[in-house]
């Protein structure tokens, strides 16, 4: 059986490919630029673009199980997958789809991710939704400041998250692809511990072997700085998450271990895995 992975060169998709390959599965990785994908020779790399569904028909030929990176036109992908005979799709979604917090009511993130899930479910293909909370990789926003030795400047130093390692997101997705018994599941994921933004910065410093510092800004100052690098809707989403996480920390969930049989990776492990990004 060959497994299809869309978004294969992304941070999660690349780990999904690796997990499936480690399990001895044949993998077909879809990417816009096969020549630069950098996968091992035993991974079949094919050209395809979720923005252009017609390019995915050849990639779906002979596929029974697929990992779907979320996309605006998930309905088109699901229809093509149904036509090709795909029997199982594991879709990367978000904890926001489950309205875990008041901030998610009527949020763009909630509506968008829920629409992606429903597009697959409505196709009649067996579906599993992977709903990570805060990605540990969000802290890459601070990479420039940390590399330069400057303080990380942000509001809400005491906002407490439970950041999840992208490798754990992929491990849950790969398990749902490889094993039976996950149809209809909606797995909300977190890391194994709660950690504030200021503590995350300090933990990255410990991985680097040097001191890092956090300078707390007002929400207005933080918004102005974030808008220099991020779209307004993303900035507003982040600030909303952080503001609420001061008084309502993200819950620590056992889902990663329950599904995969191994504990979720700590933020310290994530930092150790990514020291090159901060040097």
Could you give the number of structural domains in the chain?
Answer: 2
Give tens-digit pLDDT for 78-125.
999 999 999 999 999 999 888 655 554 556 777 788 999 999 999 999
Whether 151 and 102 share a structural domain: no
Q: Starting from the edge strand earliest in sequence, which strands make up the sheet with 44-47, in order?
A: 44-47, 26-31, 2-5, 65-68, 88-92, 126-132, 186-189
The pLDDT tens digits for 141-188 are 999 999 999 999 999 999 999 999 999 999 999 999 999 999 999 999
The parent domain of residue 205 ranges over: 135-163+191-251+265-279
Q: Which of 50-59, 62-71, 78-87, 110-119 is least confident?
A: 110-119
What is the structure's pLDDT at 273?
Answer: 98
Q: For residues 115 and 277, what is the distance between their CA atoms, to the nearest angstrom?
A: 33
- Say whether both 121 and 210 belong to one domain: no
Does the structure show a pLDDT above 60 at 238?
yes
**Shared-domain flag, residues 15 and 126:** yes
Q: Is the pLDDT of residue 204 over 90?
A: yes
> In the structure encoding, which two tokens stand for residue 26, read together?
């044949």
Q: Are residues 105 and 201 both part of a single domain? A: no
Percent of the chain with pLDDT over 70: 97
């Amino acid at each position: 059986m060959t497994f299809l992975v869309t978004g294969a060169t992304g941070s999660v998709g690349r780990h999904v490919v690796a997990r499936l390959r480690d399990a001895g599965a044949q993998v077909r990785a879809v990417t816009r630029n096969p020549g630069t994908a950098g996968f091992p020779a035993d991974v079949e790399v094919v050209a395809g673009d979720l923005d252009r569904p017609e390019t995915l028909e050849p990639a779906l030929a002979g596929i029974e199980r697929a990992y779907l990176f979320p996309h605006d036109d998930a309905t088109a992908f699901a229809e093509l997958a149904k036509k090709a005979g795909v029997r199982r799709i594991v879709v990367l979604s978000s904890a926001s789809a489950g309205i875990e917090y008041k901030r998610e009511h009527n949020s763009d993130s909630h509506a968008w991710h829920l629409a992606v899930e429903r597009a697959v479910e409505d196709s009649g293909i067996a579906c599993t939704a992977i709903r990570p909370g805060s990605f540990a990789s969000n802290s890459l926003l601070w990479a420039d400041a940390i590399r330069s030795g400057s303080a990380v400047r942000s509001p809400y130093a005491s906002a407490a998250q439970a950041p999840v390692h992208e490798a754990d997101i992929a491990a849950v997705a790969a398990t749902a692809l490889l094993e039976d018994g996950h149809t209809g599941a909606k797995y909300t994921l977190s890391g194994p511990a709660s950690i504030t933004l200021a503590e995350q910065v300090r933990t990255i410093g410990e991985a680097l072997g040097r001191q890092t510092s956090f300078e707390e800004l007002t929400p207005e100052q933080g918004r102005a700085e974030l808008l220099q690098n991020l779209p307004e809707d993303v900035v507003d989403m982040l600030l909303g998450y952080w503001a609420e996480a001061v008084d309502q920390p993200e819950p620590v969930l056992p889902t990663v271990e329950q599904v995969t049989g191994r504990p979720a990776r700590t933020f310290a492990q994530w930092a150790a895995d990514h020291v090159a990004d901060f040097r």
